Amino acid sequence: MSSRKGQKDAARVVREQLARERRRKRTLWTSLVAVAVLVIAGGIGWAVWSSQRSDTFTAPPGANEAGTGIAYGTGPVTIDLYEDFLCPACNQFQQTSGATIDQLVSEGKARVVFHPVAYLNRFSTTEYSTRSSAASGCAAKGGKFQEYAKALFAKQPPEGGAGLSDDELVDIGAGVGLNRDDFASCVSDGTYKAWTEHVTDDASRAGVTGTPTVKVNGAEVADRSPAGLTAAVAAASK
């Protein structure tokens, strides 16, 4: 009796082990299938999201050939400025070196391409970076991009809030000489929001990870001081 009981116990242990092994395999396969489903669903979701993104945009007058920024000046050296109108460091850069850049342009030494990127929407409750960038496109359409960009920095709102309203953006435009009705219509219609998206996406693909970023003939400039910019342009022109 003792021998038969031992055999039964041993058989029961083996059956339990086999059952646990089958359950483990079922759980593993279920997990693998779930992961595969998630991967496929994610791929489909990405495809749908990508298809919904607008690949078409209207670049404002004055944009460079690629439509990634507003160009001005005719100098032999190109200065690319990547700035966000909500960026405090960009505002400080403009106060420190903006006049130097203007001088390099006026002296025929440099051409500027200003890329108004929208990197800081997360620091605004109303996507101010996008709205202000799109409004600058409207200003370019009216021939007042530089004046408008400077005015936006002069009246830069703090991070973390709503930013300036569309009405306030329009007031700034009227203040630099833009036709109020035409400019207001452009801003309210969001005419250049797709362009802003294009500018921002292109900057990211070009390796721009923060603002301000300054490049001279395609090479990023570490020293963005007036002396550093002047030296970089001089070196690039040789």
Q: How many domains does the chain have?
A: 2
**CA 170 vs CA 159, 176, 204: distances in Å:** 20, 10, 29
In this structure, the strands spanning 219-220 and 213-216 are: antiparallel
Decide if 147 is inside a domain. Answer: yes
Residue 123 lies in a domain: yes
> Is the same domain home to 32 and 76?
no
**Cβ atoms 174, 183 nearer than 8 A:** yes
Q: Which of 197, 211, 195 is nearest to 80 (CA)?
A: 211
Burial class (CB in 10 A: 0-12, 13-18, 19+), 14: exposed
The tokens describing 107, both together, are: 């002296």
Do the domain assignments include residue 176? yes
Place of tokens 């130097």: 100
* Same-domain check for residues 144 and 197: yes
Task: Convert the pLDDT of each residue in 71-125 to its tens digit.
Answer: 999 999 999 999 999 999 999 999 999 999 999 999 999 999 999 999 999 999 9
Domain span including residue 156: 70-236
pLDDT of residue 200: 98
Whether 44 and 75 map to the same domain: the answer is no
Q: What is the pLDDT along the chain (238 residues), one digit of tens a residue?
A: 555 555 565 556 556 666 676 776 665 555 544 434 333 434 444 344 333 444 689 999 999 999 999 999 999 999 999 999 999 999 999 999 999 999 999 999 999 999 999 999 999 999 999 999 999 999 999 999 999 999 999 999 999 999 999 999 999 999 999 999 999 999 999 999 999 999 999 999 999 999 999 999 999 999 999 999 999 999 999 8
Q: Which residues share a beta bridge with 63?
A: 70
Whether 27 and 130 share a structural domain: no
Q: HEC states along 133-202?
A: HHHHHHHHHCCCHHHHHHHHHHCCCCCCCCCCCHHHHHHHHHHCCCCHHHHHHHHHHCCCHHHHHHHHHH
Lateral strand order in the sheet of 77-83: 70-72, 110-116, 77-83, 213-216, 219-220
Please give the angle made by the CA atoms of 113, 93 and 137, to the nearest 5 degrees: 40
- How many other C-beta atoms can be found within 10 angstroms of the C-beta atom of residue 29? 10
In the chain, what's the furthest Cα-to-Cα distance? 109
Give percent of the chain above pLDDT 90.
76
The verdict on 82 and 44 lying in the same domain is no
Asked if the structure places residue 58 within a domain, the reply is no
Return the CATH number at 215. Answer: 3.40.30.10
**Within this chain, do residues 157 and 232 fall inside the same structural domain, yes or no?**
yes
Assigned domain for 60 exists = no
Same domain, 12 and 120: no
Quick one: pLDDT at residue 3? 54
Model pLDDT, residue 37: 34
The answer on 39 and 3 residing in a single domain is: yes
Tell me, yes or no, whether 59 lies in a domain: no
46 and 75 belong to one structural domain: no
Instruction: Judge whether 118 lies within some domain.
Output: yes
